């Protein structure tokens, strides 16, 4: 196991004493097998216990360790030291307010996610005794990819539109709405359209595509948003040009 | 204590901060060329309405070095613009056949094929 001395430059911000953030550099002896999260844990355990950041699973599942690593939105537990030079810069996720050090405010995202009703709204109610709602493998495949989202918010950190217009509902929330809209068991599309087919919803997206490039779970949120645009446009034509087609 | 710090973001130069933002801007800027070309076509119509002399002068101007340069730059911009959009069509319009999704390459390829066919028809009708 080879060891490397890494200069870890971390953006620090203490709301109690600082008026603005500043960088602090730690010299960390890193094993080549490490990820950036290991280096941060080394700092916290051995050099500076005041350093704040979020993490939990250390295996790209919980979605809590998102940060900017050399300016790129990454999961710290999936960013391998051997892919970097001896100088690594770590910032809190872009486009989010900083609470403390690498910890950002997530309230905005949580509220947006909740607003799209990210749960099954069954087409028809049926008693439990009537059995399960069945689904074919093809019907499952239609939305499976979107279920892989871990709510890490890296797509928001990558999205310039979200940075410029904070009201934008954003990639993950709209993708999650799309996930349920695509589900053969679901009947909640009309309710979700009221939230997502709006100016601060999907029409705020100009398809920069950055969200899909940084998504660690290959959800392809940009694709989901374009599909929502196509479907919403078809709705509009149906409503205005073919009113007799109304459901 | 809760005193979140909001980092400033430049409204005018944000796209210089990331190569992928620059690529995005390049795609967006090329549509200005297409706008300019549309304007040129409308000008052509106007000249046509003004009579044969005006139209011939218009066509002659198109053949001048400046006219050729303009057309060439619009062509390059239009090709770049179209290819960037063709390449993302599988994301916007996935096609599911049975259980599997049709591979993106096929959807992109179909767009290029259609493009070639339409160009060929225009070429044949044009000469
Ligand atoms: S879509 Fe991808 S980048 Fe966005 S929150 Fe979900 S997993 Fe993270
Ligand atoms: S620690 Fe859970 S995703 Fe990185």
Pair (A161, A230) in one structural domain: yes
* pLDDT (0 to 100) of residue A14: 97
Residue A28 CA, distance from chain mean position: 29
* pLDDT (0 to 100) of residue A244: 76
Residues flanking ligand 1, CB < 6 Å: A 149-155, 171-172, 175, 215-217, 219, 221
Q: Of A104, A138, A154, which residue sits at a domain end?
A: A104
- Give the mean model confidence (pLDDT) for residues A42-60: 98
A229 interface with B at CB cutoff 8 Å: yes
* pLDDT (0 to 100) of residue A148: 98
pLDDT tens digits along A209-247: 999 999 999 999 999 999 999 999 999 998 888 877 655
B87 interface with A at CB cutoff 8 Å: no
ipTM of the prediction:
0.87
Pair (A92, A190) in one structural domain: no
SS3 B86: helix
Q: In 3D, which of A212, A95, A75 has the Cα closest to residue A161?
A: A95
Residue A214 CA: nearest ligand 1 atom is: 3
Question: Number of folded domains in chain A?
Answer: 2
- Give the mean model confidence (pLDDT) for residues A129-151: 95
Pair (A9, A33) in one structural domain: yes
SS3 B96: strand
Query: What distance in angstroms lies between residue A41's CA and the mean position of ligand 2's atoms?
Result: 13
C-alpha distance from residue B36 to each of A25, B74, B75 (Å) = 51, 8, 12
* pLDDT (0 to 100) of residue A247: 53
What CATH number has the domain bearing residue A168? 1.10.1060.10
Pair (A126, A227) in one structural domain: yes
Pair (A100, A210) in one structural domain: no
Q: Find out whether A67 and A74 touch, Cβ atoms under 8 Å.
A: yes
Q: Write down how long chain B is.
A: 127
Q: In 3D, which of B18, B119, B38, B34 has the Cα closest to residue B85?
A: B34
Q: Answer yes or no: is pLDDT of A186 > 70.
A: yes
Q: Find out whether A98 and A92 touch, Cβ atoms under 8 Å.
A: yes
* pLDDT (0 to 100) of residue B126: 82
For A49-58, A83-92, B6-15, which range has the lowest pLDDT when averaged over its residues?
A: B6-15
| Percentage of chain A modeled with pLDDT above 70 | 98
- The answer to whether A95 contacts B9, with C-beta atoms less than 8 Å apart, is yes
Q: Of A73, A104, A135, which residue sits at a domain end?
A: A104
Q: Average pLDDT over chain A, rounded to whole?
A: 96
Pair (A134, A222) in one structural domain: yes
Residue A154 CA: nearest ligand 1 atom is: 3
* pLDDT (0 to 100) of residue A182: 97
Pair (A118, A67) in one structural domain: no
Pair (A203, A114) in one structural domain: yes
* pLDDT (0 to 100) of residue A245: 67
- The answer to whether A230 contacts B93, with C-beta atoms less than 8 Å apart, is yes
* pLDDT (0 to 100) of residue A246: 58
Chain B residues touching A229 at Cβ < 8 A: 92
**Ligand 2 proximity of A77 Cβ (cutoff 6 Å):** yes
Q: Are strands A3-12 and A87-91 parallel, antiparallel or unpaired?
A: parallel
> What is the reported pTM?
0.92
Q: Find out whether B121 and A163 touch, Cβ atoms under 8 Å.
A: no
Residue A156 belongs to domain spanning: 107-245
**Ligand 2 proximity of A63 Cβ (cutoff 6 Å):** yes
Pair (A114, A174) in one structural domain: yes
Instruction: Scan residues 111-150 of A and list those with Cβ closer than 8 Å to B.
Output: 137-138, 141-142
Query: What distance in angstroms lies between residue B62's CA and the mean position of ligand 2's atoms?
Result: 60
Q: Answer yes or no: is pLDDT of B1 > 80.
A: no
Pair (A179, A227) in one structural domain: yes
What CATH number has the domain bearing residue A40? 3.10.20.30
Ranges of beta strands (E only) in B1-127 are 96-97, 100-101
- Give the mean model confidence (pLDDT) for residues A103-108: 97
- Give the mean model confidence (pLDDT) for residues A99-118: 97
Q: Answer yes or no: is pLDDT of B84 > 70.
A: yes
Closest CA–CA distance from residue B110 to any residue of chain A (Å): 19
Residue A186, both tokens: 């679901």
Pair (A7, A111) in one structural domain: no
B98 interface with A at CB cutoff 8 Å: yes
- SS3 labels along chain A: CCEEEEEEEEEECCCCCCCCCEEEEEEEEEECCCEHHHHHHHHHHHHCCCCCCCCCCCCCCCCCCEEEECCEEEEHHHCEHHHCCCEEEEECCCCCCEEECCEECCHHHHHHHHHCCCCCCECCCCCHHHCCCCCCHHHHHHHHHHHHCCCCCHHHHHCHHHHHCCCCCCHHHHHHHHHHHCCCCECCHHHHHHHHCCCCCHHHCCCCCHHHHHCCCCCCHHHHHHHHHHHHHHHHHHHHHCHHHCC
Q: Of A52, A77, A104, which residue sits at a domain end?
A: A104
Counting ligand 1 atoms within 8 A of each CB, the residue from A62, A151, A159, A173 with the most, and so the one to mutate, is A151
Pair (A190, A206) in one structural domain: yes
C-alpha distance from residue A67 to each of A78, A200, A225 (Å) = 11, 25, 24
A164 interface with B at CB cutoff 8 Å: yes
* pLDDT (0 to 100) of residue A126: 87
- Give the mean model confidence (pLDDT) for residues A91-119: 97
């Amino acid at each position: 196991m080879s060891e490397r001395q890494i200069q870890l430059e971390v953006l620090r911000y203490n709301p109690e004493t600082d008026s603005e953030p500043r960088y602090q550099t730690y010299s960390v002896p890193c094993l080549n097998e490490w990820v950036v999260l290991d280096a941060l844990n080394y700092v916290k355990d051995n050099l500076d216990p005041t350093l704040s950041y979020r993490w939990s699973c250390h295996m790209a599942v919980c979605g809590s360790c998102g940060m900017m690593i050399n300016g790129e939105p990454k999961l710290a537990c999936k960013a391998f030291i051997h892919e970097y030079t001896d100088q690594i810069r770590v910032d809190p996720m872009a486009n989010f307010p900083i609470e403390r050090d690498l910890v950002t405010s997530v309230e905005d995202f949580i509220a947006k996610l909740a607003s799209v009703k990210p749960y099954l709204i069954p087409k028809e109610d049926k008693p439990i005794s009537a059995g399960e709602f069945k689904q074919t493998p093809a019907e499952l495949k239609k939305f499976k990819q979107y279920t892989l989202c871990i709510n890490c918010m890296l797509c928001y950190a990558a999205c310039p539109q979200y940075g410029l217009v904070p009201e934008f509902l954003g990639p993950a929330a709209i993708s999650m709405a799309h996930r349920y809209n695509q589900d053969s068991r679901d009947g909640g599309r009309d309710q979700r359209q009221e939230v997502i087919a709006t100016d601060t919803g999907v029409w705020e997206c100009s398809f920069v595509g950055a969200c899909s490039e940084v998504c660690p779970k290959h959800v392809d949120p940009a694709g989901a948003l374009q599909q929502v645009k196509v479907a919403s446009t078809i709705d509009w034509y149906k409503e205005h040009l073919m009113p007799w087609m109304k459901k | 204590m809760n005193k979140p710090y909001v980092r400033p973001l430049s409204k005018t130069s944000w796209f210089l901060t990331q190569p992928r933002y620059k690529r995005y801007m390049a795609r967006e800027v090329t549509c200005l060329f297409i706008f300019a070309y549309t304007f040129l076509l409308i000008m052509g119509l106007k000249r046509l309405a003004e009579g044969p002399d005006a139209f011939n002068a218009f066509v002659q101007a198109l053949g001048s070095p400046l006219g050729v340069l303009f057309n060439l730059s619009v062509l390059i911009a239009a090709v770049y613009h179209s290819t960037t959009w063709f390449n993302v069509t599988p994301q916007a319009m996935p096609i599911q056949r049975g259980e599997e999704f049709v591979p993106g390459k096929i959807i992109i390829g179909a767009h290029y094929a259609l493009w070639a066919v339409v160009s060929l028809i225009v070429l044949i009708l044009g000469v």
